[in-house]
Amino acid sequence: MAHKETMTSRQRLVKTLNHETPDRVPIDLGGFQTGIHKRAYTELLDYLGIDDEPAIMDPVQQLAKPCEEVLRRFHVDTRYICAHGPDSFKGGIEQNERAGRLWHDLKDEFGVVWSMPDDQQLYMDISHHPLAEAAIDTIADYPFPNGGDPTRFTGVRDQALELRNNTPYAISTGIGGVVYETCWYMRGLERWFMDMIENPGFCEALLDQMLKFWLDYYTAFMAEVGDIIDVVMIGDDIAGQSGPLFSPDFYRRTVKPRQKRLVRHIKSLTPAKIWYHTCGSAMPLIGELIDNGIDILNPVQISAENMDPQDLKDKFGDRLTFWGGAIDTQHVLPNATPGEISRHVRRNIEIFKPGGGYVFNNVHNIQVGIPPENIAALFDAAYEHGFY
């Protein structure tokens, strides 16, 4: 029996986020945490017979920007609006030779350097933490960027209006609001974890600087597009494969109040729903995130401990939209046949979709080594089995 769509993409997503039943499950692809690696994308283009010159939208994760033909082929309901660096920031990738090897180096606005070897080109890792040796009394003097610089947002309202007025798609921002993770990017993960125990005042001082940056950023960003967009994406990885990455007590005492303030601030500026990204076994902290005010959880890493789809739906399905959770991307998606993938997708969709509150996406980015026929099977199954 052929299915028939009865809603636009935006109507479909809005209804889903309000925990109402749409015509089918919305489908997402193309974000910074819901995207596709450039190599996987190139192979997919060849498989689909689509001509596109891949553009890199995120050099750190080496994510490609999917073209409209790919997005339409997979019935993708979302499109993205992103801010950019301020005019004063002269970013870009430099090529440098070290120890006989060519490296691609990128310094971000916070002074963190990300590096990738030319002979690998999979993704960038941090090679320099600018606050690795800093003392607490030097944080206030560090040249943090201005989150509210208006040149970050030049042109974004026009882009958003073009999407709203001339396309049927739902609109989301790119990822931002990285209050916690940017701190350890600047400090170094091992040193940051030591600070949590030995020097918590340093953590608080740096978190406050990050919070100020993002409060200023969203004040200016939402003044441009807050009345147009449907979703604001923020996130910090706070969980790993088997549970929280650090003490839940430290989260509740130190990180949560700042995240909560940011979420509440954004909600005061826009009616858009708040999407929050954390990988891993987030189950012990999901209630805290809901209390912060988030509406959507991504990527729903169902292969992590205590992240069973039915359990998540039963416990939080009336208060939270799950955005992701399509398939076990660690074990099934790279290795299964297209038929097996279709069955996995159908099973998970049938668990997540009742009553709305579910947006289909791969768990995090589609990485190198995923066969293109498996990617096609993933999204084709989403469309086939997503109708209510």
- The 10s digit of each residue's pLDDT in 31-41 is 999 999 999 99
What is residue 2's predicted lDDT score, i.e. its pLDDT? Answer: 72
- Give me the domain span that covers residue 204: 87-294
234 and 175 Cβ atoms separated by less than 8 Å: yes
> Residue 346 falls within a domain, yes or no?
no
Which residues of the chain are modeled with pLDDT < 70? 1
Nearest by Cα to 206 from 277, 129, 91, 280: 129
Q: Is residue 235 part of a domain?
A: yes
Residues 122-136: pLDDT tens digits? 999 999 999 999 999
Would 125 be classed as within a structural domain? yes
Number of domains the chain contains: 1
Give the pLDDT score at 328: 93
Tell me what pLDDT residue 28 has: 98
* Cα-based distances in Å from 5 to 72, 75, 128, 343: 14, 11, 50, 22
* CATH assignment at residue 203: 3.20.20.210
Query: What pLDDT was estimated at residue 3?
Result: 85
- Is 258 within a domain? yes
Q: What is the pLDDT of residue 91?
A: 86
In a domain, 145, yes or no: yes
Record the pTM.
0.97
Residue 234: beta bridge partners?
Answer: 176, 276
H/E run at residue 203 = helix 200-225
